[in-house]
Amino acid sequence: MSGRYILHIDDNPGERRLVQEVFSEIDSDCDVLGFPDGDSAITYLTNQTHTPTFALPQLILMDLHIPKQNGMELLAYFKQHPSWNSVPIVMLTNSHAPTERSQSEQMDISGFERKPGTLEGYQALAYRLAHRFPQILRK
């Protein structure tokens, strides 16, 4: 791993694969680490925090509706953690509920995006996010 990475939390393996593919097109040196739920992502970060080469992710992308902890619970956890609260978090969702967006914004989320559903849509999303969060690109 290059030291720069995006943490992607989504229970759909196809979505995780698409996100990994489109970000590798933009910058092959920026890894995308995919996790099916919040618990496995938290376990990974907690275990990695104690290693000498640990680096925070440059961006966290997460589905709003994931198993075990939903996206709002996970967002609250990340925002309360002193080491992780500075990492930009973008919520990805298929939801049309305006209350979910406003709840996320009240929790100081960095972005709220609709899941594109197509390769081309994910490519456009990846370029928008890379422009908005330039730290994920090669320096």
Of 27-31, 116-120, 126-130, the range with the lowest mean pLDDT is 27-31
Q: What is the pLDDT of residues 39-73, one digit of tens each?
A: 988 888 888 877 777 788 889 999 888 878 777 88
Distance in angstroms (rounded) separating the CA atoms of residues 124 and 115: 11
Q: In terms of Cα–Cα distance, which of 102, 107, 111, 105 is closest to 131?
A: 111
Please give the radius of gyration of the chain, using alpha carbons only, rounded to the nearest integer.
14
CATH number assigned to the domain covering 5-136: 3.40.50.2300
